[in-house]
Amino acid sequence: MEFTVQTANPAKVETACLVVPVFKDGDLLPAAAKLDDASERLIGQLIERGDFSAGLGNVQMIPFAPGVSGERLLLVGLGERDKCNEAAFRKALDAAFATLAKLPVSDAAAAFTDVPVGEHGCAWKARMTLEAAERAIYRFVEFKSDPAPAAKLERVTLLVGDGQDAEAAKQGARIGAAIGAGINVTRTLGNLPGNVCTPRYLAEQAEALGKGSDGALEVEILDEEALEALGAGSLLSVGRGSAEPSRLIVMKYQGADNPDDAPHVLVGKGITFDTGGISLKAGEAMDEMKFDMCGAASVFGTVNAVLAIRPKINLVAIVAAAENMPDGLATKPGDIIKTLKGLTVEVLNTDAEGRLVLCDALTYAERFQPASVVDIATLTGAAIIALGHHATGLLSNDDDLALDLLEAGETAWDRAWHLPLWEEYQEQLDSNFADLANIGGRPAGTITAACFLSRFADQFPWAHLDIAGTAWTSGKQKGASGRPVGLLTQYLLDREADAEVETGDE
Ligand code: BES
Ligand code: MN
Ligand code: ZN
């Protein structure tokens, strides 16, 4: 999505559609007031006469407004002024851009940076606006013979009241557009069916990303032979029953002035389909297990955003990709496998496969001597029971890292919630026959899954994001959400800001 910033009087702006947010009390924000003055009090009268109710997310299209250069005017309800928090602001943005994405307009000029939202400044509001615009034009129609027409919207002009805010609006819009595009990359990878999006397909996507990056992204793919030679027996055990070979995908981005700066590492669970293996899942909604690579997809989306923004940090992105199927060669309950770290695992349930691919990827991360490691995984159904579909589960061996991620989630409005990783839970993983078991029973399933991973993350500050409840929507709106690309990208941008403080750079 292209964008520009304008500080001119909104009534004079040439555009296919002016977008103007309005509070329910009818007290107009600066941009709306200017339009109202120019248009014989059109907006004020619509509200006074009750022809437009500015309830949150309501929209009203006005085909033409006297005295206004824009070809159309779209009023967007913000609801009650004292309830205008981040969630309400995003809801109004989503309503506005859902409408715009259906109109025959290729550009729009929106006045959302006027809206008071907590302590947020112009940059944050510009960023949310472009993110919403990107998300709204997303379509997944690759497999439709007669798809609904694509959205026409290509360019958003941000109307900014104060010229001093123009630069901040531009910076924010740039980040919002990059995050929105990254979210859409993640949604597409998630939405692709398991017969297309295989471990090899993910590896090809990484290679294509590397090729298109002008040398900014170095890509390395480990095939099954390389993984065997390495000793990644746990990752390999998951794909044993599949005709699709497993892959470990490594993408390196060097943005820091010093190439030796310790990198931040992202690790994504890339189970391209999870049948449960020999511990076969029930049939209902099993199709949704094509989304079991959404952790990996969020890593790809974040790498895309990083390549667009180019922050001065070093990043290593690792994807552990496999397909979990039952067949004559598949791992069985009771089998004992040897991980890359050397620990042995008794596989009591082959459906707890995510932790088995991630543990070897975490061990692999040790070689980068990372500043931090964050893994992202659709790891446990228990995360949905605990947190539903709003908060991502966060567990960590480092409270500072946990806090950084929580804050990034608040800023990006892609929130996580901290769960305990207390020592007391670890004994649920005791095995009679191996160093540890791969399941810890029904109590606290999300926590014991993280306990399993923690055994492989003792060499660095590490956090785990369980996105089972947040990575996709079920039912009629079935589709990948693109979370937590916003959180992850913000986390990395905050690390760039930290580094600047340390070196005194601007
Ligand atoms: N991919 C699933 C987790 C999942 C299930 C995510 C449903 C979203 C919706 C994971 O591989 C899995 O099967 N986990 C098991 C673990 C159990 C066997 C300890 C689960 O959550 O049931
Ligand atoms: Mn599973
Ligand atoms: Zn799984």
- As given in the structure block, the two tokens for residue 120 are 């947020």
pLDDT at 503: 76
In this structure, are 73 and 14 located in the same domain? yes
Q: Which residue has the tokens 């009679």?
A: 432
Q: Is residue 470 part of a domain?
A: yes
Q: Is residue 173 part of a domain?
A: no
Does 9 contact ligand 1 (Cβ within 6 A)? Answer: no
Model confidence band, residue 444 (pLDDT cutoffs 50, 70, 90): very high
Does 381 contact ligand 1 (Cβ within 6 A)? Answer: yes
Q: Which of 273, 375, 380, 453 to mutate to test the pocket of ligand 1 (most atoms within 8 A of CB)?
A: 380
Domain limits for position 191: 184-499
- Residue 287 Cα to ligand 3 midpoint, Å, equals 12
Does 438 contact ligand 1 (Cβ within 6 A)? Answer: no
In this structure, are 117 and 241 located in the same domain? no
Does 277 contact ligand 1 (Cβ within 6 A)? Answer: no
Which ligand 1 atom is nearest residue 292's CA? Answer: 1
Atom 22, ligand 1: residue with shortest CA distance: 381
Coil, strand or helix: which one is 466? strand
pLDDT at 293: 99
In this structure, are 227 and 101 located in the same domain? no
**Residues 135-170: tens digit of each pLDDT:** 999 999 999 999 999 999 999 999 999 999 999 999
Atom 8, ligand 1: residue with shortest CA distance: 468
- Residue 381 Cα to ligand 3 midpoint, Å, equals 9
**Residues 242-255: tens digit of each pLDDT:** 999 999 999 999 99
Q: Is 324 left (phi over 0), alpha (psi -120 to 50) or beta?
A: beta
pLDDT at 164: 95
Atom 9, ligand 1: residue with shortest CA distance: 381
Model confidence band, residue 502 (pLDDT cutoffs 50, 70, 90): confident
Region 426-445: what's the mean pLDDT?
98
Q: Output the domain CATH number for residue 63.
A: 3.40.220.10
pLDDT at 505: 61
- Residue 77 Cα to ligand 1 midpoint, Å, equals 40
pLDDT at 489: 99
Nearest residue to 35 via CA among 2, 80, 72: 72
Q: Is the pLDDT score of 504 beyond 80?
A: no
Q: Is the pLDDT score of 297 beyond 70?
A: yes
- Residue 379 Cα to ligand 2 midpoint, Å, equals 8
In this structure, are 239 and 156 located in the same domain? no
Which ligand 1 atom is nearest residue 288's CA? Answer: 9
Atom 13, ligand 1: residue with shortest CA distance: 351
In this structure, are 219 and 125 located in the same domain? no
Region 268-296: what's the mean pLDDT?
98
Model confidence band, residue 506 (pLDDT cutoffs 50, 70, 90): low
In this structure, are 467 and 325 located in the same domain? yes
In this structure, are 157 and 192 located in the same domain? no
Each as own residue / partner, the long-range contacts of residues 93-98 (CB below 8 Å, 24 or more positions apart, any chain) are 93/128, 93/129, 93/132, 94/57, 94/132, 94/135, 94/136, 95/57, 95/58, 95/59, 96/19, 96/21, 96/59, 96/132, 97/132, 97/133, 97/135, 97/136, 97/137, 97/153, 98/136
Region 378-391: what's the mean pLDDT?
98
Which sequence positions are flagged as catalytic? 281, 355
Q: Is residue 506 part of a domain?
A: no
- What are residue 270's DSSP bridge partners? 321
In this structure, are 381 and 240 located in the same domain? yes
Q: Output the domain CATH number for residue 393.
A: 3.40.630.10
Q: Which of 237, 238, 350, 351 to mutate to test the pocket of ligand 1 (most atoms within 8 A of CB)?
A: 351
In this structure, are 143 and 238 located in the same domain? no
Which of 98, 132, 162 lies at the terminal end of a domain, its last residue? Answer: 162
In this structure, are 114 and 260 located in the same domain? no
If you compute the radius of gyration of the chain from its CA atoms, what whole number of angstroms results? 24
Alpha helices in 63-136 (DSSP H): 86-100, 122-136
Q: Is residue 168 part of a domain?
A: no
- Residue 352 Cα to ligand 1 midpoint, Å, equals 6
In this structure, are 120 and 192 located in the same domain? no
Of the listed ligands, the closest to the CA of 471 is 1
In this structure, are 256 and 309 located in the same domain? yes
Does 445 contact ligand 1 (Cβ within 6 A)? Answer: yes
Residues across the chain: 506
Q: Is the pLDDT score of 271 beyond 90?
A: yes
- What are residue 372's DSSP bridge partners? 264
Q: Is residue 179 part of a domain?
A: no
Model confidence band, residue 501 (pLDDT cutoffs 50, 70, 90): confident
Which of 162, 193, 216 lies at the terminal end of a domain, its last residue? Answer: 162
Q: Percent of the chain scored above 70 by pLDDT?
A: 99
Which ligand 1 atom is nearest residue 448's CA? Answer: 19
Which of 162, 194, 219 lies at the terminal end of a domain, its last residue? Answer: 162
Burial zone of 155 (CB within 10 Å; 0-12 exposed, 13-18 middle, 19+ buried):
middle
Does 380 contact ligand 1 (Cβ within 6 A)? Answer: yes
- Residue 351 Cα to ligand 1 midpoint, Å, equals 7
CA distances from 44 to 28, 53, 111, 186 (A): 8, 11, 17, 42
Q: What letter would DSSP give residue 164?
A: G
How far is 338 from 371, CA to CA, in rounded Å?
Answer: 27
Q: Is residue 339 part of a domain?
A: yes
Of the listed ligands, the closest to the CA of 286 is 1
Q: Is residue 174 part of a domain?
A: no
**Residues 308-335: tens digit of each pLDDT:** 999 999 999 999 999 999 999 999 999 9
Q: What's the number of domains the chain is made of?
A: 2
Residue type, 423: E
Q: Is residue 224 part of a domain?
A: yes
